[in-house]
Amino acid sequence: MNCRNIMSFIAMFFLIGIGNVFAQEATWPAKTTYHFQEVHGHKIFYRTAGDPSQPTILLLHGYPSSSHTYRELIPLLSGRYHIIAPDNLGSGYSDKPDPAQTNYDFDLLAEHITGLLKASNIQNYVIYMQDFGAPVGYRVMMHDPSKVQAIIAQNANAYLEGIPKAKQNFFNNAQLDKSPENVKKLYNFTSSDAVKYKQYLRDIKGKEEIMSPDSWTHDSHFLQTDKERYIQVALFQDYKTNLDRYPEWQAFLRKYQFPMLLVWGKNDPVFMVSGAKAYLKDLPNAEVHLLDAGHFAVEEKPVEIAKHIINFMDRLVVDEGRIQELHPY
């Protein structure tokens, strides 16, 4: 075979491979249902859909959202998988104990997600993490690594390379400076205008029509009272503990070598593309897709993300309910 024929064959193989990435047949969604589960004396709200005998995908949300952020993704996956999407303690429809009497930190959020999984008899799961979902998710996974089958990260950081220095300083100051002036500054980040313009519309200048107003309207509904807003202030103040734990999370990934899919909004100026690429240092076989989207990529590109997830899940080898490895592309 001459050089030209070899190159033609390679090109044909590449094109066929790209076509197969999105070759999944559509399936009818299962009905999403809505539940509360008591965990450690608090009611935790969650959405669920799909056949529990199928692989479970746990969807963990970020700030300032709740499981509502997955309202379009869930029906795209529920015809194939069992989906569970909880609201963190203090967010969405879940209980919101008074922050004056409850020490809100990411350990507390993770304890309630772990408790929900136990109460729901979830034995194994694939975890999908976005934003705050990463620090919650890593704590949940490290509690019992044997339950983790694979990881999907969407703008879910675990590397300092992925966070601008100015944002690192912001988290450091949030932890150290408890002055009334700095607390007020953090409090202002939870306003309706900040949620709309500094969160959801920040990364989509000139194409605002792709972002549903349901997103910021829903989130702002749960950030109306001082109590609700100060819960998020407390989590801002605790966020530096996540940066401190990055080396632990990276060692965890190196040790277990979970199958990993990264679907990352490349227009995110806070959880940058370099944070997605950094995962390859510890998981060199991770599958990476950089999307033309921002921090809330699942709000912008739910169908594209669902296709990547289905393709990824189709390549997982399941043996007696446990995912063992990935089929090659």
Residues that are catalytic: 295
Distances (CA, A) of 128 to 4, 42, 58, 120: 43, 23, 6, 18
d(CA 130, CA 153): 6
Question: Do 36 and 44 contact (CB within 8 A), yes or no?
Answer: yes
Host H or E run for residue 230: helix 226-238
Question: Do 223 and 229 contact (CB within 8 A), yes or no?
Answer: yes
Question: Do 266 and 122 contact (CB within 8 A), yes or no?
Answer: no
Structure tokens at 96: 């919101």
Q: Tell whether omega for the bond before 302 is within 30 degrees of 0, i.e. cis.
A: no
Smallest CA-to-CA distance from 71 within 327, 285, 306 is with: 306
CB atoms within 10 A of CB 86: 30
Which residue bears the tokens 């004396």?
41
Structure tokens at 309: 């997830």
d(CA 143, CA 304): 31
Exposed (0-12), middle (13-18) or buried (19+): which is 84, by Cβ within 10 Å? buried
For residue 39, which phi and psi values (nearest 5 degrees)? Answer: -135, 120
Which residue bears the tokens 């990463």?
134
Question: Do 276 and 264 contact (CB within 8 A), yes or no?
Answer: yes
